[in-house]
Structure 1
Amino acid sequence: MKLYKLVFSDIVDAKDVIFVYAENEYRAFKYACEKHMQDYKEYLLEMSLEEFLVETKSFEGEMRYLFSKGDMDQIARVYFEKVVLNGWTVEELEHNCMSSEWAVYPEHVNAEDEVYLISVDKNAKLDEVKDTLSIKLSIDVNFREYVEDNSVDMGLLAKMHHDEMGWLFMNNPPLRLRKDLMTEANRRNISQWQYCDEIMYKNIDVYFGDDVGLKEEYLDFLKNETKLSEQFYRHVARKCIENDDWDRYTIKQVEVA
């Protein structure tokens, strides 16, 4: 079996970037068609008769025959082969027969490079795929900006400024605690910023749990702007993958056409 990557010219969701094992390109394209079958059927059914005739003019006879039989599945397949196929590209990828390939899709796919292909040992479990994904994510420039952002409304630090009711602050300027938190700060006779820091440090404790070393590394970074370690980025990346904090990923093993 060969490993193929198929990409549609107008990417709107995960089905427009496909990885598949197939005997040849024809089988790979057939697989892509089946994945889009319901979309094409709905698209064709929403067309007016005039639009349908214009779209299928070059193969009108075949479509009329299929339409008379009411075979919408085959109509969608023919439409894919005659019209939609021109918008797809295919690339054969190198792969090790002793490895297993997994496709990782973020919740919203708008570009080809937003989809990861993870190669792991053939007997690897999902956890090992996530470990590999965390390494890839940890070196992503945008992800590192998220981790390093030291504002209370963006990035990892913003996560530490939330409680069970949401963000700690009022939604309109100037920056100040929510009324319920301000009331509690006043009751305890401490400033709003002291109370804010108390909640933040408690959240940091919970976030890093028993990993005291990484917690201290993060606190040192916040206080002294020290450089974070690769281990730190990977740890946060893994937690983000598990908790859907960075994106909501769908991870699935590459199928055979």
Structure 2
Amino acid sequence: MRLFKCYDKYAIDCPDQVIVVFAENEKKALRKVADIHKKLDVYETPVKTVLNNFKVEEIFAPKECNAYVAYSRDMSSVDDVQIVFVPFEVQDIESYIMDQLIEAESQEELFREFVIDKGINMSFNEMFYCDDKGWIFSYEPPLRLREDIEAKLMFEDISEGEFIDEFWLTSVSKFFEDKYYFKQFFEYITTNSEADFDEGFFFYVCKKLMKQGDWTVYEDLREVEY
């Protein structure tokens, strides 16, 4: 049996528009898709129309593995659907799949650019300047603290600069429970050094962000049946 990813050519925003199946050939793969949609009664359109709307892509499937499909919470393209192959001997399947998804996400160029951006807006580093109300700065220029924080500091013996530095350090410490990675990030942000993080660092950051819901979240996991 061969593995096929079948997806809607015109719109992708839900799992039923990206279906992974085992089949003998492309034609039979599309037939399976049509049968699935008929059961779901998704389109209420003729089978021929469903078949014409779907594109088929063959995926290499390694031997002695089960195939699982992970759908991201905010689907907008076929790239938001990942196929993970799990060896038969794996016992904790969910943990294995999550590690594979995290590994893949952590190696994406977009993710790494997000992490190494030293800016305090639209970056990983921005997270450490946020409280339960959001960004601690005003969104209107010039850059300054939010009015509620400024008002609070009027009654405290601390300068705005000291508050910002302490707030950032406390936030970073909470995120990086691993002191080795904390030291790496702290030195990178507070010096003029270039990014020289190892693979483990990116995996660590990605795992925490995904668990917090601050990066790609995979909510729907399905095993591909033979």
TMscore range, shorter length = 0.7 to 0.9
Kindly name which structure, 1 or 2, has the bigger radius of gyration based on alpha carbons. Answer: 1
* TM superposition shift of 1:27: 4.8
**After superposition, where does 1:217-256 map in structure 2 within 5 Å?**
217-224=184-191, 225-226=193-194, 227-256=196-225
Q: Cα deviations across residues 125-168 of structure 1 (Å, max 9, x unaligned)? A: 21111111111111111111111122222121111111122211
SS in 2 for 1:108: coil
Contact 1:118-1:132 within 8 A present in 2 as well:
yes
User: 8 Å contact 1:99–1:120 — kept in the other structure?
Assistant: yes
CA contact (8 A) 2:6 2:19 kept: yes
Q: How does 1:40-119 map to 2 (within 5 A)?
A: 40-41=43-44, 76=45, 79=46, 81-119=47-85
Aligned residue in 1 for 2:154: 186
Q: Provide the rounded CA distance (Å) in 2 between the counterparts of 1:166 and 1:16.
A: 35
Residue 21 of structure 2 is matched in structure 1 by: 20
Q: CA deviation at 1:111?
A: 2.8
Partner of 2:181: 214
Deviations 1:60-110 (A, max 9, x none): xxxxxxxxxxxxxxxx4xx1x222311222233222342122222223333
What amino acid is aligned across from residue 3 of structure 2 in structure 1?
A: L
Higher-helix-fraction structure: 1
- Residue 143 of structure 1, aligned match among 107, 111, 119: 111
Matches within 5 A, 1:98-177: 98-122=64-88, 123=90, 124-177=92-145
Q: CA deviation at 1:23?
A: 5.2
Whole-Å Cα distance in 2 between the matches of residues 35 and 220 of structure 1? 54
1:196, CA displacement in angstroms?
1.5
**Aligned CA-pair RMSD:** 2.2
Q: Residue 55 of structure 2 aligns to a residue in which SS?
A: strand
- Unmatched segments (≥5 aa) in structure 1: 42-75
Asked whether the 8 Å contact 2:37–2:43 carries over to 1, the reply is no
Count of residue pairs the alignment pairs up: 219
* Alignment match, 2:2: 2
Q: Secondary structure at the match of 1:242?
A: helix
Of 170, 173, 176, the residue aligned with 1:205 is 173
Distance 1:240 1:251, change over 3 A: farther
What is the CA–CA distance in structure 2 between the aligned matches of 1:208 and 1:214, rounded to whole Å?
6
| Alignment deviations for residues 211-253 of structure 1 (CA, whole Å, 9 cap, x no partner) | 1000000011102233222111111111122111112223413
The code of the aligned residue for 1:112 comes to V
Q: Please list every run of at least 4 consecutive aligned residues from structure 1 whose deviation after the TM superposition is greater than 4 angstroms.
A: 23-27
Percent identity among equivalent residues?
26
Q: Which amino acid aligns with 1:9?
A: K
Cα 1:38–1:169 change in 2 (3 A) is farther
Q: Secondary structure at the match of 2:19?
A: strand
Tell me, yes or no, if the aligned pair for 1:22 and 1:256 is still in contact at 8 Å.
no
